[in-house]
Each structure stands twice: as structure tokens, then as C-alpha cells.
Copies of this chain bind each other. A is one copy, B any other.
Amino acid sequence: MKYSLSEENYLKAIYHLEKIAATGVATNAIAEQMETKPSSVTDMVKKLSEKDLVNYIKYQGVTLTEKGRKTALTIIRKHRLWEVFLVDKLNFHWDQVHEIAEQLEHIHSEELISRLDKFLGEPDFDPHGDPIPDKHGNIKRTEKKLLSDLDKNQGGVCVGVKESSAEFLQYLDKKKITIGTKIKVLGKEFFDGSMVILVGKDQSFISKKTAENLYVQTN
């Protein structure tokens, strides 16, 4: 029931990779995500398989079992709740909280998380717009599109970021874009996918890469 820091981090990594991989998650992919070597991944994956947290067939990659998925989701729940705490209560900026939450997510105490959740007002989303699983691992799914998928004259509200590195978040600050910001596409360049957008009352130019990392809810 209680897993090591390392095991928990592997489960989280596999969970995130599973969302984008069609087939089983590759050893190399996990190694890259975890900043470790493929041989280390093989070792750990065997151990997780022993504990019935992943399905593993040699050379075929891994998938999470139901147990593994549930476990990953509780860690993600903790991570995101702590991020809300750091931003809402301690006034951290949204680009400063991820590293600290990486540590806090490994604190073992159901009671703590239950009380923290209440203290924070049972939030549905973390500071980056990512959904917070409930205690049973259920995630509230919402309609959201990448800004890059909007056409000219379409508009919406920024509801999340796909990538949430400090660099990107700080760049968004410079552009006056944050969760809740109203955005409208004024122009879209077919050549490079760059856009001219309306941010509040001001016009702004953003690259395709930026547009591909911003989630909006259309109206």
C-alpha cells in the first residue's frame, strides 16, 4: 500500500506517458522522462510488475494495471492539491510550485490530503489548469482545445497550459496571459502557424509553439 519515492515517480511517469502512447509505454520513453538509463527502467518495471502495478512483457513496453493507475492518480492528486496550496495560500507564483510539489506529493497521509482538500475548498483544477482527481481517482473532464486549433475570429478563455516549465509560464506572464484570460484569434499565418491574438484589449503576436501549449475553452 505504501510505495517508495522511486516507485511512485515511475508510476507517475508511466501514467503520463500512457496518455500519449498508443501502445505499451517504451522503456526508453520512461528512461528519458525519468532522466535515468533504460537498464534501470527495466529493473524497476520488473519490480512494479511483481507488485501488480504494471503489466510487463519483455520487449513490449508496460501499461499500468488498475491498481497502478489508481496509485498514480493519488500521487497526481497530491501534487496538484499542494500546488493549489502553494499558490492560493502561500502566494507562490505559478512557475515556482512544481519542484516543491514534486517533494510534497510523496508525503504519506490520507488524513492530511483529505483535510488539505477541504482547507483549499475542494478545488477542481491546479494553478496550471490541470484537473485534480478526487479521492477515488476520478477526473472531471472538460472541453478544451489547443489555441493552435482555433480559426481566425474564434475566441475563448485560457483554461490551462500543456507544458508548464517555469520558462514558458514566465513568458506567458510577459504576454499577460494566465488562467482565465480572454483570448481571440485575430489572424493566423499558414506559413508558420504563428498568430496575432487579442489578449484582453491588447494585440499580441505568438508563435505556433506557444499556441500549441495553451488550452482554451471556446465560447
A residues neighboring B (CB under 8 Å): 86, 89-92, 96, 99-100, 103-104, 107-109, 111-112, 115-116, 119
* A100 in contact with B90 (CB, 8 Å): no
Given contacts A115-B91, A115-B92, whether A107 and B104 have CB atoms under 8 Å apart is yes
* Chain B residues positioned under 8 Å from A107 (CB to CB): 100, 103-104
| Interface class of chain A by DSSP | helix
How many copies make up the complex?
A: 2
* Chain B residues positioned under 8 Å from A86 (CB to CB): 112
* A100 in contact with B119 (CB, 8 Å): no
Given contacts A90-B115, A92-B111, A104-B107, 15 further A-B pairs with CB under 8 A are A86-B112, A89-B119, A90-B112, A90-B116, A90-B119, A91-B115, A92-B115, A96-B111, A99-B109, A100-B107, A100-B109, A100-B112, A103-B107, A103-B108, A103-B109
* Chain B residues positioned under 8 Å from A111 (CB to CB): 92, 96
* Chain B residues positioned under 8 Å from A91 (CB to CB): 115
Identity of the chain B residue whose Cβ is nearest the Cβ of A106 in the assembled complex: B103
* Chain B residues positioned under 8 Å from A92 (CB to CB): 111, 115
How far, in whole Å, are A111 and B99 apart by their CA atoms in the complex?
12
* Chain B residues positioned under 8 Å from A96 (CB to CB): 111
How far, in whole Å, are A90 and B85 apart by their CA atoms in the complex?
12
